[in-house]
């Protein structure tokens, strides 16, 4: 069964460093998303990406964040200068037709900023 894969599963970084979280969405999906879940809190939408551009982003997705689809298979989330409060589980998701179909989530990357 096709699945969304994320690497690494756990990333520890020093405050102020840049991190890149990687995702391989399901191959025939057209919509890509990043969500995050801070420990003990709800899953929060960060950004959606369609047709090689950002479709929608939340207030959380400020100038420190960027997304890229560098090739036909990868979808990345970059955090330029990490802060302690960026520590969270980051989930990548993809869907075939946007809101009309369910999004499939990856297993997540646990980002720990120290």
3-state secondary structure of 25: coil
**Matching residue, tokens 């890229």:** 68
Count of residues engaged in binding other proteins, rule: CB under 8 A: 30
Question: Which of 79, 93, 111, 113 forms a contact with other proteins (CB under 8 A)?
Answer: 93
Residue 88, interface with other proteins (CB under 8 A)?
no
Query: Smallest Cα–Cα separation from 35: which of 99, 90, 82?
Result: 90
Task: Provide the token pair at 27.
Answer: 């191959």
Residue placing its CB nearer to other proteins in the complex, 27 or 100? 100
- Pair 19, 79: CB distance under 8 Å: yes
- Whether the bond between 8 and the residue before it is cis, its omega within 30 degrees of 0, is yes
Positions in 24-83 near other proteins (CB under 8 A): 31, 33, 35, 41-50, 55-56, 58
Question: Which of 19, 25, 104, 113 forms a contact with other proteins (CB under 8 A)?
Answer: 104
Q: Tell me which residues touch other proteins (CB under 8 A).
A: 4, 6, 31, 33, 35, 41-50, 55-56, 58, 91, 93, 98-100, 102-108
């Amino acid at each position: 069964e096709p699945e969304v894969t994320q690497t690494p599963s756990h990333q520890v970084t020093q405050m102020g460093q840049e991190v890149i979280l990687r995702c391989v969405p399901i191959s025939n999906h057209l919509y890509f998303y990043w969500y995050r879940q801070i420990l003990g809190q709800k899953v929060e939408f960060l950004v959606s990406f369609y047709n090689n551009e950002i479709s929608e982003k939340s207030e959380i997705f400020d100038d420190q964040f960027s997304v890229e689809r560098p090739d036909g298979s990868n979808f990345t989330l970059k955090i330029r200068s990490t802060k302690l409060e960026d520590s969270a589980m980051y989930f990548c998701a993809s869907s075939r037709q946007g809101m009309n179909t369910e999004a499939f989530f990856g297993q997540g990357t646990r980002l720990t900023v120290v």
